[in-house]
Chains A and B, each alone.
Chain A
């Protein structure tokens, strides 16, 4: 096997080791198990590498294929991941990246500082930062481990906004296991405290985490969300991800009255709401099931094709407003106090 080279970044000062990755939808791609070779497979194949000091991009030259790739800063890649280490996703290795490494590297190293230096084959405005805070539904697919709605969404948006508007958008993803809106706002607060200033905030909500047993509590969380967004003059979108949840059965079900009430509350407060379920139901005629057998305990996450379709639709729903919001905007990163 040639995919057996792992890149490790050694910090001698703190004696820490970090992976150097490109963030892609299949979050376990950097550590896959080869049963017949008893080996942890990597994304990197045997070859040679070089680092461009100007932007820390990696040149990777393979030995056994005629393949040369150039990747952006691998710590930035790590910081953007929203992986989760979850035993319910039935893969052979528990993901060693998990949720902690991205959070830690974001806080400790702030790789976003060099976003402006990143190699762009063609100039794009930005890069603008979008943060997506969601549950495991946005990070996992039960049969294959980490498979990220956020990463797929970033790809779709980068293509849509990059090709048509010459805008570059970087999506940072953070996943929380459960806890409803309050956990997401907490996570956003943490992210903003340590990570890059953001231009767009995307909050995922879903049916399985009812919020409105105390409506005033929801109002408080929405107010916190608004306040955090206002600090960066960020655009906020909340999307109902109930479609992806398939607890004990397949997904694409209606949201509960409590969920609808929460969405209504958010709408009343002027938040931008995205409700993709009905449009996604059209696709079930071809892409089925929306979840993964065997729907064992804890296995509630969408099939990879369900995540792909959801990301495609979300991108389609988000892009027009982003197209209005981002052009001409000074990226929030540039306005961050004490950034330099």
Chain B
């Protein structure tokens, strides 16, 4: 039986046209709400950070033999929660580093992000949460961490050491783009953990 209003040669009934048009309009209306809301929620993923350099003290404060703790602000406007400790020292010729460079080690454990502490007597960084242990250069010597401790870029301006963006290192201490804790660096992992727009590129 032919539908009401059907005429020979028509490929779609009037009813079907209105059903499709109604569905399409509903879909557009839904997308007009959902897509902006979704973009709003995930926008921070694509925010590129501004480079922020903070002075942590004159050159003479830092020696090659040990670390000096300094507090910097990594997130503005949220008080104590936005601050973090950085361990700073001068480059050591004995370890094959440039003696005029400065090395700033992040206290963020490479396992899951707890705050590590430099233990002077042992010369190691030790994490309180899950027992990660790092050597003097931040390389993993025990526990669950998957890569050495992160570092911050450093530079000298007007005889002051300044701390810049964070970067991660491979097990050979080669710099790569900053990663979250728990993520491996180097080799195939550079592709399995793709770069995020929200982190600064490697120095």
A, B: real partners: no
Q: Which residues of B contact A (CB under 8 A)?
A: none
